[in-house]
Chains A and B, each alone.
Chain A
Amino acid sequence: MTLEQIIEELDLTLLTVERDFSRITPVAGYASDMLSRVMACAPRDGALWVTLQAHGNIVAVAAVLGLSAIIITEGETPDEATIAKANEVGITLLATREPTFSVVGNLWRLGLRNDQ
């Protein structure tokens, strides 16, 4: 399943620059709002991260882990500097008003698993 399909199915708002999301396939998922835990425990390289943290540090964490994208939930919005930083380091930021529970449920329904 590509990021393009995920964006469409979950009706996500793209906060960063447009890319060819049909060529990006998230290979795993992770959900947490504690960045220390994300740094220690999230799957690396290509995973999709779901969080309601909109703080600028999420971009640095995602870049270090090589995540494919961050879905920011519950209508939280990062500031412009965070979005600019994400564009600079190539991290895609997506937003939704839905809570993390629903987003993860939908990703699971679409077939995203961590054992692929």
Chain B
Amino acid sequence: MINETRGRLKDTVANLHVHTVLSACAAVEMIPPLIVREALAQGIDLIAITDHNASANVAAVQEAAAGSGLVVLPGMELQTYEEVHVLCLFDSLAQLKAWQEVVDARLPLQENTPEIFGEQFVVDQTGELIRREPRLLATSTGIRLKDAVTEVVRRGGLAIPAHVDRPIFSLFANLGFVPSDVPVDALEISHHTTPSAAGSRFPQLAGYPLIQSGDAHHLGDLGTATVFTMAAPTISEIRLALRGLQGRSFRIERS
């Protein structure tokens, strides 16, 4: 597959960390049609939908994006046992749904309290309400970081610890540094910092591919992106780009 596409590399502007109204902390404007419209307006080619421990709105965003030119990867922002947030990205909805079953089985049975945490809406491609998710989603699952990363990669996905520069829910805050037995594909920094500022503040970043994403909870956060030079918007191509293999590459600065 890769050989067929050799020589057809192009820049793909990607924000691989986007929440929808299924995440209690996301703004009510984060519905499929607005996400698609605003991402395109901000020059984004590729997004990943990554709600907290959940994926019920991914298909709706994909449907909203159909024919628009925006590519939507299925994803999730997992909260591990250690309270570390990890982006889990896949090529297909089927892969994500199978992973969702694993996560559901390890999510504590707590009810959401919308007045405190916010609403968790499952919506259709137009943004119309289908149902409220009753379970509290943004909490720690029982899945350990090492098992999460290993399992996502084994299932053909990408595992990227999220916003490692942040004071909470971050790999560096909670565990200090990347454990040597956890095969992360890359580390994500938030839009609150820059690669050079993060690099000097966190020497433990050294040696890991570093991406930056919007961690978009509002439409205005959609523009923070990483540019991948690759043949197609797929997991295997992103992985090649992160590793700098076969001519693929990536950079945080947008040209």
Contacts and interface: CB of A to CB of B under 8 A. Distances in A.
A53 B80 CA distance: 12
Interface stretch (B4-12, B60-68, B170-178): B170-178
- Point out which of B144, B175, B181 has the most chain A C-beta atoms below 10 A from its C-beta: B175
A35 interface: yes
B134 interface: no
Interface stretch (A8-16, A54-62, A99-107): A54-62
A57 B177 contact: yes
Contact of A56 (B172, B173, B174, B181): B181
A53 B174 CA distance: 9
A57 B176 contact: yes
A17 interface: no
B173 A57 contact: no
Given A53-B82, A55-B82, A55-B145, A34 B179 contact: no
Size bin of chain A's contact surface? 10 to 19
A39 interface: yes
Given A53-B82, A55-B82, A55-B145, A34 B181 contact: no
Please report whether the interface of chain A is mostly helix, strand, loop or mixed according to DSSP.
helix
Contact of A36 (B144, B174, B179): B174
Interface string A25-40: 0000000011111110
A36 B181 contact: no
A81 B181 CA distance: 10
B181 A35 contact: no
Given A35-B174, A36-B172, A36-B174, A57 B181 contact: no
B173 A36 contact: yes
A62 to B, nearest CB: 11
Contacts of A57: 175-177, 179
A53 B172 CA distance: 14
- 3 nearest interchain CB pairs? A35-B176, A57-B175, A36-B173
Given A36-B173, A57-B175, 5 more contacts: A53-B174, A55-B175, A57-B177, A60-B177, A81-B181
Interface of A: 33-39, 53, 55-57, 60-61, 81
